């Protein structure tokens, strides 16, 4: 059942993105930024945790999950180190994913050659 | 040139008009986005059954999907899928990784420092900047809410 919910919730979150692409003039970069900010807000309001509970990777893999990760990181960091956690929490939580992306990008650039995008 | 009757013309406009296109795009986005998340969940259950903690399993899933996205981006497959799947390949973390890897490869010709090193952040940069800013704003609210 976990798998079904992961597919449905993940798919629906992508459909929202597709509607934004097709029906508004938002660029992909703006949609990604919007998703991360929305993830922080939803997590802050406590609305994202139940979705995560239900859908697992269906909620954590879309970029809303990245926003949730940032918000959760800030909460944890503030609990551990007080005020200064406001600054460190987000980056600490995001560090793994961002570092993995940058490393992957760098290695890919080293090995691969750009292809004709058409 | 072939002349079109009104009926044929309306059929043609129907065929190319936005509503059906939006519907088809959404179906693609749902199927592909859902499939990527399903793959993530399968990986997550595997990592969890290997005895990983929840947080660590999440990171392992992200890293796996990022690696997969980097490989398929380098091979040019991700772009081909994205032509159909639209937001289905944009919204998952694989889309974020694609947005890092794709310009990194593209701007290799401008050098490893000012090409690869900086162009990686064309889309990832704004995402990180606004994500961290949003988390700080939320952190300030959370901090003062818990103090009073």
The three-point CA angle A41-A43-A48 to 5° equals 120
What residues of chain B lie within 8 A of the CB of A115, using their CB? Answer: 76, 79
Q: Do A108 and B66 touch (CB under 8 A)?
A: no
**Can you give the C-alpha Rg of chain B in angstroms?**
21
List, for residues A1-26, the tens digit of each pLDDT value: 789 999 999 999 999 999 999 999 99
**In contact, A7 and A58? CB cutoff 8 Å:** yes
Q: Is A117 a member of any domain?
A: no
Q: What's residue B94's pLDDT?
A: 97
Q: How far off is chain A from B20, nearest CA to CA, in Å?
A: 11
Count CB neighbours of B80 within 10 A.
Answer: 13
Q: How far off is chain B from A54, nearest CA to CA, in Å?
A: 11
Number of domains in chain B: 1
Mean pLDDT over B58-79 rounds to 96
Q: Is B15 a member of any domain?
A: no
List, for residues A31-77, the tens digit of each pLDDT value: 999 999 999 999 999 999 999 999 999 999 999 999 999 999 999 99
The residue with tokens 């949003």 is: B134
Mean pLDDT over each residue of chain B, to the nearest integer:
92
Q: Is A87 a member of any domain?
A: yes
pLDDT at B9 over 70: yes
B52: phi > 0 → left, psi -120 to 50 → alpha, else beta; which? beta
Q: Do A22 and B25 touch (CB under 8 A)?
A: yes
pTM value?
Answer: 0.89
Checking ipTM against 0.90, whether it exceeds it is yes
Number of domains in chain A: 1
- Cβ of B56 under 8 Å from any chain A Cβ? no
Q: Is A98 a member of any domain?
A: yes
How far, CA to CA in Å, does B9 sit from each of A75, B3, B74? 59, 9, 42
pLDDT at B15 over 80: no
Q: Give B147's contacts (C-beta < 8 A, 6+ positions apart).
A: none
List, for residues B83-133, the tens digit of each pLDDT value: 999 999 999 999 999 999 999 999 999 999 999 999 999 999 999 999 999
Q: How far apart are CA B6 and CA B81, in angstroms?
A: 36
- Cβ of A107 under 8 Å from any chain B Cβ? yes
**In contact, B1 and B26? CB cutoff 8 Å:** no
Q: What's residue B11's pLDDT?
A: 78
Q: Is B71 a member of any domain?
A: yes
Q: Is B101 a member of any domain?
A: yes
pLDDT at B1 over 80: no
What residues of chain B lie within 8 A of the CB of A55, using their CB? Answer: 37, 41
List, for residues A64-111, the tens digit of each pLDDT value: 999 999 999 999 999 999 999 999 999 999 999 999 999 999 999 999
Q: How far off is chain B from A61, nearest CA to CA, in Å?
A: 5
Task: Give B144's pLDDT tier (boundaries 50, 70, 90).
Answer: very high
Q: Is A52 a member of any domain?
A: yes
Q: Is A116 a member of any domain?
A: no
Q: What's residue A115's pLDDT?
A: 67
When scoring A4, A8, A11 by the number of chain B Cβ atoms within 10 A, the one with the most, hence best to mutate, is A11
Nearest CB among B131, B136, B141 relative to A36 is that of B131
Backbone angles phi, psi at B92, to 5 degrees: -65, 165
Backbone angles phi, psi at A113, to 5 degrees: -115, 150
């Amino acid at each position: 059942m976990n798998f079904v919910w992961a597919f449905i919730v993940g798919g629906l979150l992508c459909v929202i993105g597709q509607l934004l692409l097709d029906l508004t003039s938002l660029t992909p970069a703006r949609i990604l930024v919007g998703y991360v900010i929305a993830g922080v807000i939803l997590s802050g309001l406590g609305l994202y945790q139940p979705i995560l509970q239900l859908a697992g990777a269906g909620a954590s893999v879309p970029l809303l999950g990245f926003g949730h990760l940032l918000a959760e990181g800030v909460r944890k960091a503030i609990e551990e180190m007080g005020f200064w956690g406001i600054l460190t929490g987000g980056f600490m939580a995001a560090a793994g994913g961002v570092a993995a992306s940058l490393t992957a990008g760098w290695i890919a650039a080293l090995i691969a050659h750009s292809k004709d995008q058409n | 040139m072939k002349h079109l009757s009104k009926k044929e013309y309306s059929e043609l406009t129907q065929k190319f008009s936005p509503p059906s296109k939006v519907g088809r795009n959404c179906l693609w986005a749902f199927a592909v986005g859902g499939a990527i998340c399903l793959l993530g969940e399968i990986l997550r259950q595997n990592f969890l059954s290997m005895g990983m903690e929840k947080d660590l399993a999440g990171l392992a899933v992200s890293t796996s999907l990022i690696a997969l996205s980097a490989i398929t981006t380098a091979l040019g497959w991700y772009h081909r899928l994205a032509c159909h799947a639209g937001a289905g390949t944009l919204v998952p973390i694989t889309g974020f990784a694609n947005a890092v890897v794709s310009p990194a490869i593209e701007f290799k010709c401008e050098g490893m420092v000012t090409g690869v090193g900086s162009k990686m952040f064309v889309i990832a940069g704004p995402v990180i900047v606004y994500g961290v800013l949003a988390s700080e704003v939320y952190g300030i609210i959370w901090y003062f809410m818990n103090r009073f």
